[in-house]
Every structure is written in structure tokens, then in C-alpha cells.
Amino acid sequence: MGMTKYLFRRVIEGVITLFIVITITFFLFRIMPGDPLSTIMDPKMTPEVKAAIRHSYGLDKSILVQYGLYIKNMLTLNLGDSFYYSRPVTEVLARRIPNTLLLFTPATVLAAVLGIMLGRIIAWRRNSKLEYSLTLVGLFFT
């Protein structure tokens, strides 16, 4: 029972943390100076065309409605279109995930193996110069 309760608590904490990060990200991009559509809008566009573009991205709605749409889109994995690549964000991410995993997996395994090995060495050599040195190096690389 204890492990199930622990895992449940950790999952709930993870969901809450993710919600907080998503919320902070949304509001940070809203308070930053500049217009998020400035990269795709030409200064020569008429005000009507600019308004139509704003409407198509939902930027003409209130901040709370925009936030609600943002949360809904995040939950349904509708990440929209990339302004930079002019393609869906999920497509851009999907093309990069294999290379990311190719870099991430060996690095994580190496970090775990080194961490366990160095942790064992530190445990065997308590209160020695080696312990202090390895702890300092570990703190530096963290």
C-alpha cells in the first residue's frame, strides 16, 4: 500500500508541476514585449488582413479565453503551427525526437553508471580528501 500511495502522490505532484510550468510559459509569452505574430505579418498588410490573422490564431480573444484554448490544445497535443518552419509543431518535433533520444539515452546511462560508481567510492572513503574532491566535482557537474 505504501508504494502505491507514494507513486500516486508523485504522479499528482508531477501533474501539478507540469500545470504550473505550462501556466507560467503562457503568461510569460503574453507579457513579453513585441507581438508574437510579428514574424509572419508584413508591415505592408492592411489592418483587415492583420485582424484576420489575429483572429485565426485566437489573439483577438480575452486573455482568459486564450489561456483556456492554450490548456485545451496542450491536453489534446494540438501544438499549432511553427512560425519559423511554417509546419505543424508536432511534425517538427517528430522529426527531431529520434536524434534527441540517440543523444539522451547514452548520456543518461553514462550518468547513472558514473553516479553509482562514484557514490560507492565516496561511501567507502568517508571523510577523506577523495570524498570531498568527488563531492565537489559532482556538485560542479550537476
What pLDDT does residue 67 have? 94
Residues 40 and 74 in one domain: yes
Number of structural domains (the chain) is 2
Residues 110 and 134 in one domain: yes
Tell me, yes or no, whether 110 and 73 share the same domain: no
- C-beta atoms surrounding 66 within 10 Å: 16
What are the pLDDT digits (tens) for 10-66?
999 999 999 999 999 999 988 888 777 777 778 888 888 888 888 888 888 999 999
**Among the listed residues 34, 65, 62, 38, the one whose alpha carbon sits nearest the alpha carbon of residue 50:** 38
pTM over 0.95: no
Instruction: Answer yes or no: is 6 within a domain.
Output: yes
Residue 17 within a domain = yes
Question: What is the average pLDDT value for the chain, to the nearest integer?
Answer: 88
Say if residue 7 is in the same domain as residue 57. yes
**Domain-embedded: residue 122:** yes
